[in-house]
Amino acid sequence: MFLLVITGFLGTGKTTFMVKLAGKAMSEGLKVALVVNEIGEIGIDDKFMTQCGFNVWEVLGGCICCTLAGELVQTLDNLSEEYSPDVVIVEPSGAADPRTLVHALALSSRPYLKTRRHIALLDPLRMDMLMEVLEPLVISAVQQADLVLINKADVASAQEIERTRQIASQANPQARIFVMCAKDDLDRDLWSEIRSCLT
Amino acid sequence: MSDIIFEPLAASVHFESESRKSIQEWTAITKDLMERLGTLCGQSPGALIGHIKGLCLLGEDHYIRASVIGHKPPVDVETNASGARAGLTMELAMLVYGLPCTTLERLLKRAVRECLVAHQVAATVDPRISANRKAHDHHDHKSGD
């Protein structure tokens, strides 16, 4: 079972990307499960994903980067036993701290987990604002990432994208960086990159 | 950032119309509500919009999905539905830093009121504050940890 963790601040496009990614993975014959963590009583993302026909597990009532980390691991245990997916894609709340989540998952290594990869989504439209008020969270997400995706290429300016790319490459020179629009079908090169994480 | 208030508000907004409206019209109403929410929240002193998102499930695999992340970028709205209906329910999550959920509820009700006047529809708002306060209590890590 492969684990993909999709991080990114609130409103960055994680859910839209996750739906595209899961659809692509399923079209390639992979058995996919989605795990969604939302803050708030009404789970909106999980309802949307379920409406799109995916198998979705919720972790509600808090944030999986802190007190619900154990519940996430329990959910993965249940998934492994009851559903045996090839890939589990996890979307933490956009308010989660990826560093804390990575730490929690590292402490809970499981024999059924073949690999764990982190994909960080960045919003170039709000990069300056987020760096001003949430820099530790943004940098933490990039530093933990194997892959950095600069989303909203359809509406962001070239300057905003370049600025975001600079921040990402400075924070994590090893990470591969892609510019994309999550609303579009998954780019072939990007899918190849993600697919290579799943082997 | 850790000392900024963060009290997400979840709510259901049920719209009704005396006559059936097309999905295009309902999508426009949905978009209008989100624009008003983005403006009202974004212009409130000390507020930072994380994400305001709404979802209307319309049976089978049909939906209207709307999202706003500020008062400047346009509202993102999409639907795969068609036809007409006399009402719909939008599940709404307002994830806004810097405003208590009581303020978010007040802004939501104001935005809905303005929408009703503009589009000649009726609506009821069902906020779910207490559960979100509990959810927030769990999320107390600091951004610099």
Is B121's pLDDT higher than 70? Answer: yes
Interchain contact A11–B (C-beta under 8 A): yes
Q: Rounded to a whole number, what is the distance in Å from the CA of A5 to chain B's nearest CA?
A: 19
Do A116 and A5 meet the contact criterion of CB atoms below 8 Å apart?
yes
| pLDDT per position as a tens digit, A91-126 | 988 877 777 777 777 767 788 888 889 999 999 999
Tell me the shortest Cα–Cα distance from B109 to chain A, in angstroms: 18
What's the pLDDT score for residue B73? 62
The rounded distance, in Å, linking the Cα atoms of A7 and A56 is: 17
Across A102-113, b (16+ Cβ under 10 Å) vs e yields: bebbeeeeeeee
Q: What is the DSSP letter of B6?
A: B
Decide if A100 and B141 are in contact by the 8 Å CB cutoff: yes
For a pLDDT cut of 90, what percent of chain A falls above it? 61
CA angle B135, B48, B134 (to 5 degrees): 10
The interface predicted TM-score (ipTM) is 0.86
Contact B6 A95 (CB under 8 A): yes
User: CB-CB: which of B50, B78, B145 is closest to A95?
Assistant: B50
Residues 31-90 of A with CB under 8 A from B: 38-42, 44-45, 47-48, 51-53, 60-63, 65-68
- Rg (Cα) of chain A, in Å, rounded? 16
pLDDT tens profile A22-49? 999 999 999 999 998 877 657 888 899 9
